[in-house]
Chains A and B, each alone.
Chain A
Amino acid sequence: MRYVIIGASAAGAQAGEELRKLDKNSKITIISAEKYLPYSRCLISRFVDGRLKEDNLYFKTRHFFDDYDINGVLDTKIVKIDRTAKRVVSKDDEEFAYDKLLIATGSNPAIPKIDGIDLNGVYFFHSLDNANAIIQKFEKAKRAVVLGAGFVGLESAYALARRGLKVTVIEKASQILPNQLDVTASLIIQKDLESLGVEIILNQSVSFINGTDAVESVTLSDKSMIPCDILIVAVGMRPNKDLAIECGISADKGIIVDEFLRTSDPDVYSAGDVIEIQDISTGKRITSATWYNAVLQGKFSAFNMAGIDRRYSQAIGIQNAVQFHQIPAISFGKTQINEEDEQDYDVISVHKDNVYKKLVLNNGKICGMIFVGDIAKSGFYTALIRYGVDVSEFRSKLLDYDFSYAYFKENTFDQYDPYDPLIF
């Protein structure tokens, strides 16, 4: 059996590892467009701020390919999938034949159409290449502007602030982290970032990026200007689905897969940022660029590619654990409710100083949570969401200090049960 995996990040590398664990003999090839060994994109900010070295970014270690007997092909961009001949072709016309293919091409930063976006000093905050370029610029840079107060934007702001730059974040929504948090939570995090000296400007977008060769300033929608040497653009991600579309595989927002992560072609699977998922907490189909989802999808797709059916059914779109400065926050599931939907949802929250906990319930089940400041036992609540557990009996206890997994010890959440008397 020949397995070919396009992409060596969370989904691709995990799939490779799982395939090898399941199948000792088949040939496994992982092809990456980047020149680096599989590295964790999520650690880029800590690399940029100097706390991690490049070596620390390899989440599967330097000797991953050897350890798992995988043919690792780096710095090779696949430009075509020939589904009839069952092979993929690189830019340099190298060909890789497959019996089962996994498309794990991930996503790339969205490029906004703003004048000046091509100037020097304008960076995305996505790849190790981006990071290295930004680091080179540090020696001369004093002032940075970050476009977008989403997760990536704030991570970059934090990293640059730690390096001593004066940072201003511009966000077009009326709160930071508009997709993950509600207003109350975002204000707590905002204050935390501001205490570090980061300036946050809401309700504004960038109209122009000014400069001759290199970026010198940005003009905001209210016509004010902010000088900067570095501009980080973090306004969203676009799944890299072109490869799939061009060879006739169904895609909408992202590549469409069934619950076994199979595309419209039975020999082609897909996982990671590039696919679209059915978010069980909101009921909507979305693309979800999160590490945890990508790893699980990589894992599940490996099982299915190896012929062992494993249903991937607990996808959650919004799931983030963050701590930019001093205040940790975890958001999971349906954290935002539109005004028109308000009466369908039941919200419970407690708020004291910098600790804010909110649960969103629907029909007696938790479908969303935000914990700021005190993130203990978050995973227990996310499990209640993932497993759709009816908690109506405990509604008034849910945010008590002493509410915990102990209340649900009969539920093993699909793992070994230490309370099971059969063991004894």
Chain B
Amino acid sequence: MKKLTVISERCTGCKRCEMACIAEHSDTKSYIFASLSGFEPKTRIFVDSVINKPVPVVCRHCDDPQCVSACMAGCMQKDPITGIVTNMGHEQKCVGCWMCIMACPYGVISPSFDIVQAGKSEFAQAIKCDFCPNRDTPACVEGCPNEVLAVADI
């Protein structure tokens, strides 16, 4: 199963991982256009800080995911083969109930109202790392200039 690894000592807080994530998950695949879209772009990887020391906080696609247990729509699932935990792409649809946000101990799931405001869905959606299913290497890993992030096969 693929997981992200983090060497936070190398992180300079430049946030290129966040920008790459936003770009990858936007319609135009461009951070700039995503920022100009009128909705606040949401990242699924976070460069938080401890005082002023940058620390990347990532979704770990847990083996026993709390978000999956908390999901009352049944849409948050862990793929038995790839191990990726995501609420998108399943028969059950996310209804924006925010139970997963309440359950994730790392705080890496965020509420997004954009899709409702854009009229594309009845429901707001919970947004989380999906390990970039359309890429060989996740966008954040590629975007990092200091080799902080990597993919490990566990």
Direct A–B contact in complex, judged by CB atoms less than 8 Å apart:
yes
- Residues of A whose CB lies within 8 Å of any CB of B are 10, 14, 40, 42-43, 46, 51-52, 56, 58-61, 291-292, 295-296, 299, 319-323, 328, 330, 332, 375-380, 382-383, 386-387, 402, 404-407, 409, 413-419, 423-424
Number of residue pairs spanning A and B whose beta carbons lie under 8 angstroms apart:
148
B62-A415 in contact (CB<8A): yes
How far is it, in angstroms, between the C-alpha of A42 and the C-alpha of B123 when the chains are bound? Answer: 15
A405-B106 in contact (CB<8A): yes
Which of B14-22, B25-33, B89-97 is found at the contact surface with chain A? B89-97
Q: A43 with B60: in contact, given A59-B73, A382-B102, A413-B106 (CB under 8 Å)?
A: no
Answer whether residue B79 sits at the interface, using C-beta atoms and an 8 A cutoff: no
How far is it, in angstroms, between the C-alpha of A382 and the C-alpha of B98 when the chains are bound? Answer: 13
Task: Give every chain A residue within 8 A of B103 (Cβ-Cβ).
Answer: 292, 379, 382
- Please encode chain B, from 71 to 85, with 1 for each CB lying within 8 Å of some chain A CB and 0 for all others: 111100000000000
Known: A14-B69, A387-B105. 13 other contacts (CB 8 A): A40-B72, A58-B92, A291-B72, A291-B99, A328-B111, A375-B111, A377-B107, A378-B107, A379-B100, A382-B103, A382-B105, A415-B62, A423-B154
B105-A380 in contact (CB<8A): yes
Answer whether residue B101 sits at the interface, using C-beta atoms and an 8 A cutoff: yes
Select B102's contact among A59, A319, A419, beta carbons within 8 Å: A319
B98-A46 in contact (CB<8A): no
A406-B55 in contact (CB<8A): yes
B107-A380 in contact (CB<8A): yes
A60-B74 in contact (CB<8A): yes
Q: Which residue of B lies closest to A39 (CB)?
A: B74
Select A321's contact among B3, B5, B101, beta carbons within 8 Å: B101
How far is it, in angstroms, between the C-alpha of A124 and the C-alpha of B36 when the chains are bound? Answer: 46
Task: Give every chain A residue within 8 A of B69 (Cβ-Cβ).
Answer: 14, 292, 295-296, 299
Answer whether residue B136 sits at the interface, using C-beta atoms and an 8 A cutoff: no
A59-B48 in contact (CB<8A): no
Answer whether residue B8 sits at the interface, using C-beta atoms and an 8 A cutoff: yes
B5-A418 in contact (CB<8A): yes
How far is it, in angstroms, between the C-alpha of A301 and the C-alpha of B103 when the chains are bound? Answer: 20
How far is it, in angstroms, between the C-alpha of A410 and the C-alpha of B51 when the chains are bound? Answer: 16
Q: Give 9 closest A-B pairs by Cβ, nearest first.
A: A59-B74, A377-B107, A383-B105, A380-B107, A379-B104, A406-B55, A406-B48, A321-B98, A413-B105
B154-A405 in contact (CB<8A): no
Most buried by A among B49, B60, B62, B107: B107
Task: Give every chain B residue within 8 A of A60 (Cβ-Cβ).
Answer: 74
Residue tally, chain B, CB below 8 Å to A: 51
Most buried by A among B8, B97, B109: B97
Q: Which residue of A lies closest to B121 (CB)?
A: A51
Task: Give every chain B residue within 8 A of A419 (Cβ-Cβ).
Answer: 5-8
User: How far is the CB of A291 from the nearest CB of chain B, in Å?
Assistant: 4
A328-B98 in contact (CB<8A): yes
Answer whether residue B88 sits at the interface, using C-beta atoms and an 8 A cutoff: no
A415-B64 in contact (CB<8A): yes
Task: Give every chain B residue within 8 A of A413 (Cβ-Cβ).
Answer: 105-106
Answer whether residue B66 sits at the interface, using C-beta atoms and an 8 A cutoff: yes
B63-A323 in contact (CB<8A): no
- Please encode chain B, from 47 to 66, with 1 for each CB lying within 8 Å of some chain A CB and 0 for all others: 01110000101101111101
How far is it, in angstroms, between the C-alpha of A323 and the C-alpha of B111 when the chains are bound? Answer: 11
User: How far is the CB of B46 from the nearest CB of chain A, in Å?
Assistant: 7
Task: Give every chain A residue within 8 A of B60 (Cβ-Cβ).
Answer: 415-418
How far is it, in angstroms, between the C-alpha of A323 and the C-alpha of B5 when the chains are bound? Answer: 34
How far is it, in angstroms, between the C-alpha of A58 and the C-alpha of B73 when the chains are bound? Answer: 8
